[in-house]
Amino acid sequence: MAATRRSMIVRMFRLMDKVMDQMEQSVTVATEKDADLLGKLVTTLGKLIDIDKASGKLSAPRQTKEMLDIRDQLVRRIAELKRN
């Protein structure tokens, strides 16, 4: 079960990365709907990570450089969306 949850966490990071890339490559300004979608993905990912940590069976997943980069991009993009 924990392995499946961890694979979901990795897939969520990748999905958020793809959504961010699409938003950045879009010619138009990101809409509030886009920001809401990204926010929901972040919230869901946070819940999955909390569940994984609470399971206690395995230690918290090591954050890879890719995950840290995606997280940093998310923070910057959400801040940018809030400014607009």
pLDDT digits (tens, 9 = 90+) for 1-53: 556 877 888 888 888 888 777 777 776 666 777 778 888 888 888 888 888 77
pLDDT at 59: 54
Categorise residue 80: left if φ over 0, alpha if ψ from -120 to 50, beta otherwise. Answer: alpha
CA distances from 47 to 12, 35, 68, 83, 84 (A): 11, 18, 17, 26, 27
**Alpha-carbon gap, residue 35 to 10, rounded angstroms:** 21
Query: pLDDT digits over 54-76, tens only?
Result: 776 555 556 778 778 888 888 88
Question: Residues 14-27: pLDDT tens digits?
Answer: 888 887 777 777 76
What confidence score (pLDDT) does residue 27 get? 62
- The domain segmentation of the chain, as residue ranges, is 2-83
Q: Would the pTM count as exceeding 0.85?
A: no
